[in-house]
Amino acid sequence: MIKAGIVGGTGYTGVELLRLLATHPGVELAVITSRSEAGKAVADMFPNLRGRVSLPFSAPDSESLQACDVVFFATPNGTAMGMVPELLDAGVRVIDLAADFRLKDPALWQQWYGMAHTCPGLLAEAVYGLPEMNREALQQARLVACPGCYPTAVQLGFLPLLEQGLVDAGRLIADVKSGVSGAGRKAATGFLLAECSESLKAYAVAGHRHMPEIKQGLAVASGSAIGLVFVPHLAPMIRGIHATLYAILQETETDLQAVFEQRFAAEAFVDVMPFGSHPETRSVRGANVCRIALHRPPDSNMIVILSVIDNLVKGAAGQAVQNMNLMFGLKETSGLEAIALLP
């Protein structure tokens, strides 16, 4: 059994990790940390875990974490990089769900996250945890940087087109809506029910922290620099991301549906729907799945891609577990085969 620790077990991604790992056939939950809730039973805070998780929260402790095989960081940006070097030196594998190791350029990290990186020497080693792009590298990784939720939906949608040079990489548009849980578990006026229910708004139009991460990943797929307009929106729902992606075709004769179906044929967690479908966020709620559908506006050289995920699962905790499965040679779908919740 893999002994797993979670640093930061009280946020939305932390409790989602607990939900998935509690029934994972190859995992033993060993440590769940929270400075503010140390000593409190996990199931007292999250009653859905009663009978599944008997551990209490504990204060972060190097000794207990170093006894784990893998440690997940479900912490605010900037936390993991202070602890990761010591864990790696102790032979522990690390999966960071925050942004500490996603960007390869430490200056770019400081620009977007407002703090200096404390271990820039590890950025080159960290494997970007999008299995559909980096499966082989993940199997050998010590340190994995889980992608953000927006970058997961956007990159999976554009990936087949850029890999084959079918679209203009300099003129991509991503119009993306996210549920409120994407902002994290915190008390903030803008995320109160009365503030965000029955409303839709764009935010960070001038620049979102996920922009450089998306461009970095798409540039690898394309082999060239990326031009991207990325506009995130806050939608009046708890879970889910819906990405509407636009690209200009280089030529219009290729069977794009076949391109997507062939690219993702072996991917357990990417569902290419019939051409002209309209995937819904509710169809992936609670599941580690990205559903994709293609559309061609009439009399146009544009392709429109619809991509939906659950931001807390394929966009965070589920993808982290998928990465863990690859790192430890387990079946990639282990612990992740649950069907989405409807209604």
272-310: pLDDT as tens digits: 999 999 999 999 999 999 999 999 999 899 999 999 999
165-191: pLDDT as tens digits: 999 999 999 999 999 998 888 778 888
Which residue segment(s) compose the domain that 281 sits in?
149-313
220-262: pLDDT as tens digits: 999 999 999 999 999 999 999 999 999 999 988 999 999 999 9
What CATH number does residue 309 fall under?
3.30.360.10
Do 153 and 116 sit in the same domain of this protein? Answer: no
Do 250 and 305 sit in the same domain of this protein? Answer: yes
Please report whether residue 319 resides in a domain.
no
Do 108 and 195 sit in the same domain of this protein? Answer: no
Number of domains in the chain: 2
Please report whether residue 279 resides in a domain.
yes
Q: Which of 27-31, 60-64, 172-176, 302-306 has the lowest mean pLDDT?
A: 60-64
Quickly state the pLDDT bin for 104 (edges 50, 70, 90): very high
Please report whether residue 143 resides in a domain.
no
Residues that are catalytic: 149
Do 119 and 161 sit in the same domain of this protein? Answer: no
Query: Which amino acid is residue 124, in one-letter code?
Result: A
Mean of the per-residue pLDDT values of the chain: 96
pLDDT at residue 13, as a whole number: 95
Quickly state the pLDDT bin for 195 (edges 50, 70, 90): confident
User: Is residue 149's pLDDT more than 80?
Assistant: yes
Rounded to two decimals, the pTM is 0.96
- The strands making up 290-295's β-sheet, listed across from edge to edge, are 201-202, 228-234, 172-178, 241-248, 302-309, 290-295, 270-272
Contact 94, 87 (CB under 8 A): yes
Do 301 and 249 sit in the same domain of this protein? Answer: yes
Nearest-angstrom CA–CA distance, 34 and 258: 47
Q: Is 71 helix (H, G, I), strand (E, B) or coil?
A: strand
- How many residues make up the chain in this entry? 343
Do 116 and 165 sit in the same domain of this protein? Answer: no
H-assigned helices in the chain: 12-21, 42-45, 62-66, 84-89, 106-113, 131-139, 149-163, 193-196, 210-222, 256-263, 318-327
Distances (CA, A) of 239 to 62, 134, 219, 298: 33, 26, 28, 32
Q: Return the residue matching tokens 């008997």.
A: 54
Q: Return the residue matching tokens 């620009």.
A: 111
Helices (H) and strands (E) in the chain, counts: 11, 13
Nearest to 314 by CA among 273, 341, 335, 285: 285
Quickly state the pLDDT bin for 314 (edges 50, 70, 90): very high
